[in-house]
């Protein structure tokens, strides 16, 4: 693309853009398209800034959710003393380094100490932290810390398995590479049998 066409495109975009008619994110996406050498006023891109703004609102909705609101009182007294495990929780997140997706499954377990949490709250907990700009290591720790804070159980264990588009599409370009992170608290750290049971359970496929 020659400089004349690029600057003509830039002038056209500026003339047809009214920042007051769209959100700040949409306006910045429009500016990004221009900086990449595109024409945001062509048919295919005309509504792209607004679509991208709505996409980020959805994918980063975790910033608008806090732990107390998410739990919403769904913690109950219980005499149950054995492991509670929710496995294969699908999640999607955005890598904070390149704003590219990473996605996979989380396995979350705890051993109660007088309190349990509603089943749906554990996937929601994963989702709350996944819907922020993340690195997998921090995501794993945040899930474990939050559940530990809410329940104060005998122990918490979290394993996250994910594929990262930043490694698949760019850089090393290894499409089959995946990353596994884990975070153990309490009895999952100190009791080898409990830890082994947890790891054995998450490795079973439909048994």
Q: What is the rounded distance in angstroms from the CA atom of residue 90 to the CA atom of residue 103? A: 8
> Does 149 qualify as catalytic in the annotation?
no
User: Is residue 113 packed enough to be buried (19+ CB in 10 Å), middle (13-18) or exposed (0-12)?
Assistant: middle
- Exactly one of 22, 105, 166, 195 is catalytic; which is it? 166
Which tens digit of pLDDT belongs to each residue from 13-34? 444 555 544 689 999 999 999 9
**For residue range 131-189, what is the model confidence (pLDDT) as tens digits?**
999 999 999 999 999 999 999 999 999 999 999 999 888 887 878 889 999 999 999 99
Terminal-to-terminal C-alpha distance of the chain: 58
DSSP letter for each residue of 122-161: HHHHHHHHHSSEE-HHHHHHHHHHHHHHHH--SEEEEEEE
Catalytic residue of the set 95, 107, 131, 134: 95
Nearest Cα to 104, choosing from 157, 180, 40?
180
Confidence (pTM): 0.86
Q: For the chain, where do the domains classified as CATH 3.30.1130.10 start and end?
A: 67-203
Among 53, 98, 189, 195, which one carries the catalytic annotation? 98
Catalytic site residue from 97, 137, 149, 152: 97
Rounded distance between C-alpha atoms, residue 9 and residue 11, angstroms = 5
pLDDT at 112 over 90: yes
98 is catalytic: yes
The pair of structure tokens assigned to 148 is 């530990």
Interatomic CA distance for residues 31 and 24, integer angstroms: 11
Could you confirm whether 96 is annotated as catalytic? yes
Whether pLDDT at 80 is above 70 = yes
Q: Is the pLDDT of residue 75 over 90?
A: yes
* Short-list 46, 54, 53, 51, CA closest to 13: 46
Confidence tier at 5 by pLDDT (50, 70, 90):
low
Give, in degrees to the nearest 5, the angle at Cα 157 between 137 and 187.
Answer: 130
- Res. 206 pLDDT band, cuts 50 70 90: very low
Is 95 one of the annotated active-site residues of the chain? Answer: yes
The pLDDT > 90 percentage for the chain reads: 81
Angle (CA) 166-32-36 rounded to 5° is 80
**137 assigned to active site:** no
State the Cα–Cα distance between residues 114 and 80, nearest whole angstrom: 7
The CA distance from 127 to 158, in Å, is 14
Say whether domain 67-203 belongs to CATH 3.40.50.300.
no
Task: Report whether pLDDT(4) > 70.
Answer: no
Instruction: Please say if 97 is a catalytic residue.
Output: yes
> What is the residue-averaged pLDDT of the chain?
90
Find the catalytic residue in 14, 90, 96, 137.
96
């Amino acid at each position: 693309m020659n400089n004349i066409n690029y600057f003509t495109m830039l002038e056209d975009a500026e003339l047809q853009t009214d920042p007051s008619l769209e959100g700040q994110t949409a306006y910045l996406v429009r500016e990004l398209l221009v900086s990449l050498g595109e024409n945001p006023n062509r048919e295919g891109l005309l509504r792209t800034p607004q679509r991208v703004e709505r996409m980020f609102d959805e994918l980063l909705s975790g910033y608008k959710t806090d732990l107390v609101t998410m739990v919403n009182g769904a913690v109950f007294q219980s005499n149950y003393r054995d492991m509670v495990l929710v496995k294969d929780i699908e999640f999607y997140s955005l890598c904070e380094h390149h704003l590219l997706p990473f996605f996979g499954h989380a396995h979350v377990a705890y051993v109660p100490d007088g309190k349990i949490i509603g089943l749906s709250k554990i996937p929601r907990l994963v989702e709350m932290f996944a819907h922020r700009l993340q690195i997998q290591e921090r995501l794993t720790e945040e899930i474990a810390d939050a559940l530990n804070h809410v329940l104060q159980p005998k122990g918490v264990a979290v394993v996250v398995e994910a594929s990262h588009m930043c490694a698949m599409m760019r850089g090393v370009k290894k499409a089959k590479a995946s990353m596994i992170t884990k975070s153990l608290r309490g009895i999952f750290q100190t009791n080898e049998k409990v830890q082994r049971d947890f790891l054995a359970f998450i490795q079973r496929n439909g048994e």
